[in-house]
Amino acid sequence: MINCLIIDDEPEAIQELSAYIKNIPKINLLKAFDKPLEALEYIRTGNDVDLIFMDVDMPLLSGIELSGLIRNKTKKLVFTTSHFEYAVDAFKVSADDFLLKPFGFSDFIKTVEKLFPDDEDATKYPKANPSGFFYIKNKEDNLKLVKVFAKDIVAVESLLNYVRIHTLDSKLVTHLSLKEVKKELSDYEQFIQLHRSFIISKDHISIVDGNMLTMTNGAKFTIGETYRESLTEFLQGNILKPATKKQ
C-alpha cells in the first residue's frame, strides 16, 4: 500500500486529486491539507509516508520552502502547480516529479507508475477516467473548477492556446490544446475529430445536412473535407434503412 498526503491551498485541486487517488486501489490517502503549516506539524510528528503531492504557490510557506523541512519524511515528492516556471526550483529540492495543472487522470497514473513501478502492474490501472467526469478550469469564470461529465460534452473547439468545451447547457473555456483534450477523451468511443479545429460527440449529432452538423445543444459545425470518410462510416452503421426487397 502506498500511503500518501496532499498539500494544496486550493480546495478544488484537493478534491480533484483525491478523486484520482480513490480510483487507484493501492494508494491510500492518509490526509489532505489546505494549510502548509498544519501539514508541517502533522508530518514532523508522524510516521514517514511513501508519497506527497504538494502545490508550490501557497501562503506563508511555499511548497519549495516546505519541501526543505519535510523531504526526509517521504520516499517520493511530487509538485503540482499551474506555473511551469517552478519546475526548475522543484527539482533543485529533489522533487521526484512535477505535474503541471490542469493534469488529467492519465498523467497522474503515469507518474505513479514511474515512481512506484513494483507496487502495481500497469495493466491493472483503468485506461479511462473511471468516474466519467473531469474538473475543468473555466477561464471565463475566474478559473473556477467546473465538474463536467464526459456524456454531457457535445463538442470541443480549438481557440489557439485554449479550447471551448460545449456541453448540453453551457460553454467553458480552458487553457488546453485540442491535442491535449483529444488525448484525455481517447478512451471514450463517442468522440471523433471531424475538423482540425474541433472534436464532437457522436452521441450528440442531431442533424446532418451536407457538410453541416447541428448538435443537440444547437451548435453548428462544418465538417472538414479530409474527415468526411470518418463521419460517413459512422452514419452508414446507424442509418435506418428500408428492408431490401426480394427479387
Residue 220 lies in a domain: yes
pLDDT digits (tens, 9 = 90+) for 99-121: 888 888 888 988 898 888 864 44
In a domain, 243, yes or no: no
Tracing cell 448540453 back to the chain, one arrives at 168
B/e letters for 134-171, b = 16+ CB within 10 Å, e = fewer, are: bbbbbbeeebebbebebebbbbbbbeeeebbbbbeeee
Which grid coordinates are listed for 120?
Answer: 502495481
Among 10, 154, 144, smallest CA distance to 80 is for 10
For residue 168, the enclosing domain spans 134-236
7 lies in a domain? Answer: yes
Give the model's confidence band at 245: pLDDT under 50 very low, under 70 low, under 90 confident, else very high. low
pLDDT of residue 132: 79
Please state which of the ranges 58-67, 127-136, 175-184 shows the lowest mean pLDDT: 127-136
What confidence score (pLDDT) does residue 119 get? 47
Residue 247, domain member (yes or no): no
Assign residue 228 the CATH number of its domain: 2.40.50.1020
More confidently predicted of 56 and 30: 30
* Global confidence as pTM: 0.50
Q: Are residues 161 and 210 in the same domain?
A: yes
